[in-house]
């Protein structure tokens, strides 16, 4: 059976029994974040734009600050390198809206495919994601334009659809089978029809713009030299908001932090294509020294390069980059101008 109906309280109990750390969205907007549920704390019963924190869940497995190694140098030039552990407590992320849930598909393909990024790989293996159907779209939401919807389960291991005091729980992957077995024991099964019926309550907002991945990629490729990029980014201030708050953006910097002359650590920190130094070579040559070239990189990475490499858009339509941009740069507006279809 791949779906069951359980009382919401049962989920609370089953999760508590696992002893895993449970992270939930807490506080909407700027002050919010994904935080650890305290013992005995209530799980969120609904999710939507009104419960969405400004910072996405990526930081759980892709922290802004991650030690990659430590080093000790000898006075005679000896080098001792200590690897970092890249681990965390077994964690379940509960109640992520579909936009944040789907971000893990993009992050996994970017950071695990071919050669895995060790820091992400280590933590990701210890994370389970329980996505929740979204009951309220916000002013800047456009998940339905990027092939997702308020009820999509992409990126989830279990998907829950709140239905009164009950939850319909769908098993999407085997990663959380430990929990699934606890839930399943004695629970009422939900057949395909029942699932669809509850799912149907989470109505996708119809937007007047749709991005069709392949067509869009082709159109953007043709628009590479478009003068619109300059107009799109003339008021950009080159801060990191759009990318740091993006649930899928994953570019990073590696720098050494010396503790003293002979020891220190190597760190991985969030970086962004919007900072001028991101591509600045030591020689002073910089292939993306103009702001428009950097904004173009952000848009094309999401809608052209990542789709070409991984088959899906690197944007989940969460709307954070639009909502929090201090100068009202709107990625959906830009993409529409350059290659979207009504």
Using alpha carbons, select from 297, 290, 244, 248 the residue that is nearest to residue 271. 244
Residue 221 phi, psi dihedral angles, 5° rounding: -60, -40
Give, as ranges, the residues between 181 and 200 that touch another protein (CB under 8 A).
none
Report CA-CA distances (Å) from 122 to 36, 126, 248, 265: 20, 7, 18, 19
Task: Please list the alpha-helical segments (H only) found in the chain.
Answer: 8-18, 98-112, 118-124, 177-184, 192-199, 213-222, 228-233, 241-244, 291-300, 306-310, 320-324, 331-339
Q: Which of residues 33-52 bind another protein (CB under 8 A)?
A: none
Binders of another protein among residues 134 to 163 (CB under 8 A) are: 139-140
The answer to the question of residue 209 lying near another protein (CB under 8 A) is: no
Q: Is 87 in the site for another protein (CB under 8 A)?
A: no
Cβ 237 vs Cβ 327: under 8 Å: yes
d(CA 319, CA 323): 6
**Which of 109, 173, 226, 238 forms a contact with another protein (CB under 8 A)?**
238
DSSP H or E run through 21: strand 21-26
Cα–Cα distance, 260 to 266 (Å, whole number): 13
CB of 47 to another protein, least distance (A): 20
* Cβ-based nearer residue to another protein, 94 or 270: 270
Q: Where does this chain touch another protein (CB under 8 A) — which range of 2-10, 26-34, 160-168, 203-211? A: 26-34
Provide, rounded to whole angstroms, the least separation between the CB of residue 260 and another protein: 9
Residue 258 CB, nearest approach to another protein (Å)? 4
From the CB of 225, what's the least distance to another protein, in Å?
7
Site membership for another protein, residue 73 (CB under 8 A): yes
Interaction of residue 311 with another protein, rule CB under 8 A: no
CB of 72 vs another protein, minimal distance in Å: 9
User: Shortest gap between Cβ of 300 and another protein (angstroms)?
Assistant: 8
Query: Shortest CA distance to 299 belongs to which of 340, 335, 326?
Result: 335
Residue 121 engages another protein in binding (rule: CB under 8 A): yes
Task: Name which position in 7, 17, 31, 87 contacts another protein (CB under 8 A).
Answer: 31
Nearer to another protein, 65 or 186 (CB): 65
304 contacts another protein (rule: CB under 8 A): yes
* Cβ-Cβ contacts under 8 Å for 266 (sequence gap 6 or more): 67, 68, 69, 70, 71, 254, 255, 256, 257
Candidates 291, 312, 316, 338: give the one binding another protein (CB under 8 A).
291
Is 210 a binder of another protein (CB under 8 A)? Answer: no
Residues 29 and 188: their CA atoms lie apart, in Å, by 37
Is 315 a binder of another protein (CB under 8 A)?
no
CB 273 within 8 A of CB 241: no
Stretch that binds another protein, among 41-49, 92-100, 114-122, 128-136 (CB under 8 A): 114-122
In the complex with another protein, the residue whose CB is nearer, 49 or 166, is 49
DSSP 105-135: HHHHHHHHSSS--HHHHHHHTTEEEEEE-B-
**Shortest spacing between CB 283 and another protein, in angstroms:** 6
Part in contact with another protein (CB under 8 A); list of ranges 156-164, 180-188, 190-198, 272-280: 272-280
C-beta separation of 270 from 64 below 8 A: yes
Q: Is 1 in the site for another protein (CB under 8 A)?
A: no
């Amino acid at each position: 059976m791949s779906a069951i109906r359980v009382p919401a309280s049962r989920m609370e109990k089953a999760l508590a029994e696992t002893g895993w750390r449970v992270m939930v969205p807490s506080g909407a907007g700027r002050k919010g974040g994904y935080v650890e549920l305290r013992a005995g704390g209530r799980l969120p019963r609904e999710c939507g734009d009104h419960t969405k924190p400004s910072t996405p869940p990526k930081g759980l497995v892709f922290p802004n600050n991650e030690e990659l190694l430590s080093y000790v140098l000898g006075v005679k030039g000896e080098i001792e390198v200590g690897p970092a552990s890249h681990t965390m407590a077994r964690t379940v992320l509960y109640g992520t809206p579909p936009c944040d849930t789907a971000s893990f598909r993009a992050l996994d393909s970017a950071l695990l495919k071919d050669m895995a990024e060790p820091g992400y790989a280590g933590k990701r293996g210890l994370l389970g994601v329980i996505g929740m159907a979204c009951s309220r779209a916000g002013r800047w939401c456009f998940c339905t334009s990027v092939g997702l919807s308020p009820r999509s389960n992409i990126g989830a291991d279990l998907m829950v659809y709140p239905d009164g005091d009950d939850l319909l729980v769908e098993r999407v992957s085997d990663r959380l089978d430990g929990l699934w077995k606890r839930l399943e024991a004695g629970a009422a099964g939900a057949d395909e029809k029942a699932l669809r019926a509850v799912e149907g309550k989470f109505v996708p907002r119809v937007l007047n713009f749709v991005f069709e991945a392949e067509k869009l990629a082709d159109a953007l490729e043709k628009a590479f030299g478009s003068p619109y990029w300059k107009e799109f980014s003339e008021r950009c201030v080159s801060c990191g908001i759009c990318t740091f708050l993006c649930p899928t953006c994953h570019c990073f910097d590696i720098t050494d932090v010396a503790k003293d002359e002979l020891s220190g650590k190597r760190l991985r920190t969030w970086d962004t294509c919007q900072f001028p130094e991101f591509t600045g070579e030591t020689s002073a040559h910089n292939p993306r020294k103009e702001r428009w070239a950097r904004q173009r990189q952000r848009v094309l990475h999401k809608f052209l390069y990542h789709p070409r490499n991984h088959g899906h858009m690197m944007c989940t339509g969460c709307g954070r980059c639009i909502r929090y941009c201090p100068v009202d740069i709107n990625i959906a507006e830009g993409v529409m101008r350059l290659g979207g279809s009504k």
